[in-house]
Amino acid sequence: MLPPAVIRRQSMIPSQAAVQSRSKRNRLGLSSSASDLNPVAVLITKALIELPVPFVDLPPVHPAAPHTIEAAWSGAAGLAADVRYYGQWIRDEAERRIGAYYPAAQLPQAYGAGDAPVLAWLWARTARCPNPACGAQMPW
List pLDDT tens digits, range 86-101. 999 999 999 999 988 8
Are 17 and 33 in contact by the 8 Å Cβ rule? The answer is: no
SS3 state at 88: helix
Domain boundaries, the chain: 1-51, 55-140
Helix (H) or strand (E) holding 128: strand 126-128
Give pLDDT tens digits for 97-130.
998 888 888 999 998 889 998 888 888 888 998 8
Helices (H) and strands (E) in the chain — how many of each?
A: 4, 4
CA 37/CA 76 separation, integer angstroms: 29
Instruction: Quote the pTM value.
Output: 0.56
Helix 39-50 / helix 15-22 crossing angle, nearest 10 deg:
20
